Structure 1
Amino acid sequence: MAEVLLLQGVRKSYGGGASPRVEVLHGIDMALAEGSFAALIGPSGSGKSTLLNIIGLLEPPTEGELQLAGGATSGLDDAARTTLRNRYLGFIFQFHHLLPAFSAEENVLMPMLAGVGRISRADRERARMLLARVGLAEHAHKRPVQLSGGQQQRVAIVRALMNRPRLVLADEPTGNLDTQTAAEVFALLHELNREEGTTFLIVTHDPRLADTCQQQFRLLDGRLL
């Protein structure tokens, strides 16, 4: 099966000059197959957020290579990285970051505005289909304040899937939810993984949720165990 993500010898350091240089990632080798469902786990301070930022093309590694969908990313300028990010990646965060002045459907369509600058009829149909798929058809025109925490996170999940990403990066997507709602949201991610064929890499502190994943990557002190 083809690899959607490949990291080889990735290192990340901060500081330098007048400040001592500190390396937080130490030679990370990692591969994700197309359509896989994986967890990234580890204690606070282990480097998970830094690794996720590098995979999400939000910051470059100090050393090593990151390949996304078979293409190398080293040497790309900011504009090229932004284009690649919009084309291949989706993001889900612990806090949904929905825009309060816009409806659920309008929030879901934001990636299309950011990526291509317009919204087509097909985009609206996909947004409504996905909202219906996660049980929010009747809530499409409500604003975030009118939705529960679990419903808001479902909107954020749909938003991440709008541009048909090859890889969705989820940073503690259930960390702000109660246990039952968290389990429901995680089950939904599994269903979307199977039905959409999207690859998921999920940061979670919950070992019960991590155990439902096909793969687990355990990070400790900047090293994959």
Structure 2
Amino acid sequence: MAEVLNLAGIRKGYGGGEAPWVEVLHGIDLTLSEGEFVGLIGPSGSGKSTLLNIMGLLEPPSGGELTIAGERAEVLDDAARTRLRNRYLGFVFQFHHLLPAFSALENVLMPVFAGEGRLPPGARESAQALLERVGLSAHAGKRPVQLSGGQQQRVAIVRALANRPRLVLADEPTGNLDTQTAADVFALMREINRDDGVTFLIVTHDARLASTCTRVLNLVDGRFAASDA
């Protein structure tokens, strides 16, 4: 399988000057391949969100190498990292972060507009097709407040797919949902992974959901447990 992302010796610390240096990630090595569905678990404070932010090019590592789709990312300037992020990555968060003033369809189109600076021909039709795929075609014109929590998270998932990414990073995407809705949302992501070959890395505290992943990484005190990665 083709390599989508590679981390080599990734470290992350905070501090400097008068503040003491505190390292939260200690030399992380990880490879994600096309079509994987990977769970990331670990206790609170273990560095999961920090690792996800680095993988998503939202913050730089303090050391090590980060390669996405064959391109070294940590050496790029801000503009180049933004282009790489828009081209290859999608994001789903615990709180959907939908824009309340816009419809479901408009929210799905936001990454496309951000990446292109405009809506290319066919973008609206593609977004509508994504909503139809997750059973929300009839709700395309509704604003987030008019949708249930599960419906809002499904909109967030298809928004993450709008730019046809190779890798979707999901940070506790079911943490704000009831048990059945969480299972439904997780199943939807698994279906997209299986049918479209999109790689998923999902941070979750739910061991039952994590057990359905094809691989589970356990991050403890800024390091993977020996049997993971």
Q: Which residue of 1 aligns with 2:75?
A: 75
* CA deviation string 1:35-85 (max 9, x = no partner): 110011000000001100100001111111011011111221111111111
Amino acid at match of 2:9: G
Q: Which residue of 2 aligns with 1:158?
A: 158
Offset of 1:189 from its aligned partner? Answer: 0.3
Is 1:19 the counterpart of 2:19? The answer is: yes
Question: 3-state SS of the aligned residue for 2:115?
Answer: helix
Question: 3-state SS of the aligned residue for 2:122?
Answer: helix
| Equivalent residue runs for 1:177-188 within 5 Å | 177-188=177-188
| Equivalent residue runs for 1:58-97 within 5 Å | 58-97=58-97
Question: 3-state SS of the aligned residue for 2:188?
Answer: helix
Q: Which residue of 2 aligns with 1:204?
A: 204
Aligned residues: 225
Offset of 1:126 from its aligned partner? Answer: 1.0
* CA deviation string 1:13-35 (max 9, x = no partner): 11011111111000100011111
Tell me the distance in 1 between the aligned counterparts of 2:147 and 2:95. 14
Q: Which residue of 2 aligns with 1:111?
A: 111
Amino acid at match of 1:64: G
Q: Which residue of 2 aligns with 1:125?
A: 125
Q: Which residue of 2 aligns with 1:192?
A: 192
TM-score normalised to the size of structure 2? 0.97
Tell me the distance in 1 between the aligned counterparts of 2:197 and 2:57. 22
Q: Aligned-pair RMSD on alpha carbons?
A: 0.7
Offset of 1:202 from its aligned partner? Answer: 0.2
| Equivalent residue runs for 1:126-141 within 5 Å | 126-141=126-141
Structure 2: give runs of 5+ residues left out of the alignment.
none
* CA deviation string 1:159-197 (max 9, x = no partner): 000000010000000000000000000000000111221
Tell me the distance in 2 between the aligned counterparts of 1:67 and 1:75. 10
Percent of aligned pairs sharing the same letter: 74
* CA deviation string 1:114-166 (max 9, x = no partner): 00011134111111111010000110111111100000000000000000001
Tell me the distance in 2 between the aligned counterparts of 1:202 and 1:58. 16
TM-score normalised to the size of structure 1? 0.98
Q: Which residue of 1 aligns with 2:222?
A: 222
Question: 3-state SS of the aligned residue for 1:186?
Answer: helix
Amino acid at match of 1:114: A
Which stretch has the larger CA shift, 70-79 or 43-52?
70-79
Tell me the distance in 2 between the aligned counterparts of 1:74 and 1:121. 33
Tell me the distance in 2 between the aligned counterparts of 1:47 and 1:24. 6
Tell me the distance in 2 between the aligned counterparts of 1:106 and 1:59. 27
